[in-house]
């Protein structure tokens, strides 16, 4: 992704914390030579060296993914930024946060390992539930999905949050985003101030 210096984030803790918060990304690879994307949640492994996901076997994307150099994109809150909000002159733009992960894909077909992926994802997403769902499903379910582990080879992170504008303009953008109801994006900008 094209990242001007003032929008580039290199802090790995920040990047993986962003991925955790915005885990519903896109798995982009080739199927029969054509671009293909699936929208799914991802999970980093213990040392953040790989990302793990699973898809339905009916989704053709897994069939020739083994060994492919693939791209996973994550996106956070985003919104249009009007130059009418600035004190100094400017042009229209869009503020957003995104992480792009490149890596080599490896299939996970072992039932026990797929079970672990489901349990790990469940732990994350059910943790805030009043009565967390406890994995309880037919073992045959494990036969209709396939896991994919992506060994990370390159990490790109861009926070495009008006860092190229004056402090006055940044504060006004935050204020206007709050009025618009873009509270998450406003908060991301505030965190960066």
Residues that bind a copy of itself (CB under 8 A): 1-2, 4, 24, 26, 28-29, 34-41, 55-56, 58-61, 69-71, 73, 75, 78, 80, 82-84, 89, 91-92, 94, 96, 98, 100, 102, 118, 121-122, 125-126, 129-133, 136-137, 141
CB-wise, 2 or 46, nearer to a copy of itself? 2
CB-hemisphere CA count at 13 Å for 152? 21
**Cβ-based burial of 128 (10 A; exposed 0-12, middle 13-18, buried ≥19):** exposed
- In whole angstroms, the minimum distance from the beta carbon of 47 to a copy of itself comes to 24
- In whole angstroms, the minimum distance from the beta carbon of 187 to a copy of itself comes to 13
CB-wise, 74 or 108, nearer to a copy of itself? 74
CB-wise, 23 or 108, nearer to a copy of itself? 23
CA distances from 183 to 32, 97, 158, 169, 180 (A): 41, 14, 19, 17, 8
- In whole angstroms, the minimum distance from the beta carbon of 24 to a copy of itself comes to 6
185, 95 Cβ separation under 8 angstroms: yes
CB-wise, 47 or 84, nearer to a copy of itself? 84
- In whole angstroms, the minimum distance from the beta carbon of 97 to a copy of itself comes to 9
- In whole angstroms, the minimum distance from the beta carbon of 167 to a copy of itself comes to 21
- In whole angstroms, the minimum distance from the beta carbon of 62 to a copy of itself comes to 10
CB-wise, 47 or 138, nearer to a copy of itself? 138
CB-wise, 60 or 106, nearer to a copy of itself? 60
């Amino acid at each position: 992704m094209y990242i001007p210096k003032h929008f580039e984030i290199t802090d790995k803790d920040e990047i993986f914390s962003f991925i955790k918060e915005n885990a519903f990304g896109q798995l982009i690879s080739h199927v029969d030579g054509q671009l293909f994307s699936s929208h799914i949640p991802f999970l980093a492994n213990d040392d953040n060296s790989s990302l793990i996901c699973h898809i339905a076997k009916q989704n053709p994307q897994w069939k020739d993914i083994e060994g492919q150099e693939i791209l996973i994109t994550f996106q956070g809150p985003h919104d249009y930024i009007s130059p009418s909000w600035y004190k100094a002159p400017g042009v229209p733009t869009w503020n957003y946060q995104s992480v792009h992960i490149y890596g080599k894909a490896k299939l996970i077909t072992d039932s026990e390992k797929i079970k672990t992926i489901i349990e790990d994802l469940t732990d994350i997403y059910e943790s805030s539930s009043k009565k967390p769902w406890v994995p309880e499903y037919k073992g045959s379910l494990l036969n209709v999905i396939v896991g994919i582990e992506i060994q990370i080879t390159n990490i790109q992170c861009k926070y495009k949050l008006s860092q190229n504008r004056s402090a006055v303009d940044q504060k006004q953008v935050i204020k206007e985003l709050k009025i618009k109801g873009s509270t998450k994006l406003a908060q991301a900008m505030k965190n960066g101030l």
